[in-house]
A = this chain, B = another copy of it.
Amino acid sequence: MTDDFTRSQTFDIPAGYQELPWHRGFGRQVGPLFEKRDATGLTRAFRVEEHHTNGMMNAHGGMLMTFADMAWGGAVERNEDTWWVTIRLMCDFLSGAPLGSFVEGNGTVVGVADDIITVEGRIWSGDKTLMRGTGIFKLISRREGQQKPFTRAVQDA
């Protein structure tokens, strides 16, 4: 049905991606999000749906920054037991992502100083760069009561 257009797009995702099984909190609220891990590292993605849009029916800047945090921060994750917090995020908005776009993002570690990791990040859709920027993340110990907001299926290493 026409009014299911964006809903069904959710599952029209490129090969290699699997849904991030966030079952609570903000990650669920802004989902669904996807990820794949291959020779180039970790890439995350989402399809722009109605609940991601701004007044121009593009992905809202807040959504792009949320996604940047998740996609660039992912670059510091060595395994399921890596815990990190964001210290600073700087985002340049270069282009918009209209409703229905498939948006991908990843980050490259460019600096490590003790437990502070600097990441250069990019977000794109097709051949168009939407955002570039820098994330500074701090590795932390798992804190009392802290839980990942998702239960991930067994993955390839």
| Chain A residues packing against B (C-beta within 8 Å) | 24-30, 50-57, 59-63, 65-67, 69-70, 85-93, 143, 145-149
Contact = CB atoms under 8 A, between A and B. Distances in A.
A144 to B, nearest CB: 10
Contacts of A56: 143, 145-146
A95 to B, nearest CB: 11
A60 B88 CA distance: 14
Given A25-B50, A65-B69, 17 more contacts: A25-B52, A26-B51, A26-B53, A26-B59, A26-B63, A29-B30, A29-B52, A30-B62, A56-B146, A60-B66, A61-B86, A62-B62, A65-B89, A86-B93, A88-B92, A88-B93, A90-B91
B90 A60 contact: no
Contacts of A55: 25, 146-149
Contacts of A70: 62
A63 B62 CA distance: 7
A64 to B, nearest CB: 9
Contacts of A28: 51
A58 B89 CA distance: 18
A6 B65 CA distance: 25
A120 B90 CA distance: 14
A54 B140 CA distance: 15
